[in-house]
Amino acid sequence: MNAENTSRRAFMSRLGLGALSIGAIAAVQACGKSGGGEGAKCDDTTGLDDAAKATRTSLKYTDKSPDPAKTCSKCQQFNAPEGGAACGGCKLFKGTVSPAGNCAGFVVKAG
């Protein structure tokens, strides 16, 4: 019975690692990493629920700011990309955000 539990435990561990790997790959692909930094395509809403999509829409998020002085990278709400990713995040809504993007929640960074 102990060998059977160990096998089950090992299987579940491998299953969890596989799911994490698939999630990490999907996140990198969703960022449109090939675009790079300021020109990144980060408007993929795959995996977001309807409420999260509605919040993004109501804040009028766009990947390319019409005003160069009001980009996400200059906003207090922006979470910078990590680990070489092209897309960051936002404190106001879920999903990926382009450093060159903009939304109605823009607040200039202090300092």
pTM over 0.75: no
**Residue bearing tokens 């955000």:** 97
Name the token pair of 68. Answer: 């160069």
26 pLDDT tier (thresholds 50, 70, 90): low
CB 74 within 8 A of CB 101: no
| Mean predicted confidence (pLDDT) in 33-57 | 79
Element (H, E) at 25: helix 2-30
37 pLDDT tier (thresholds 50, 70, 90): very low
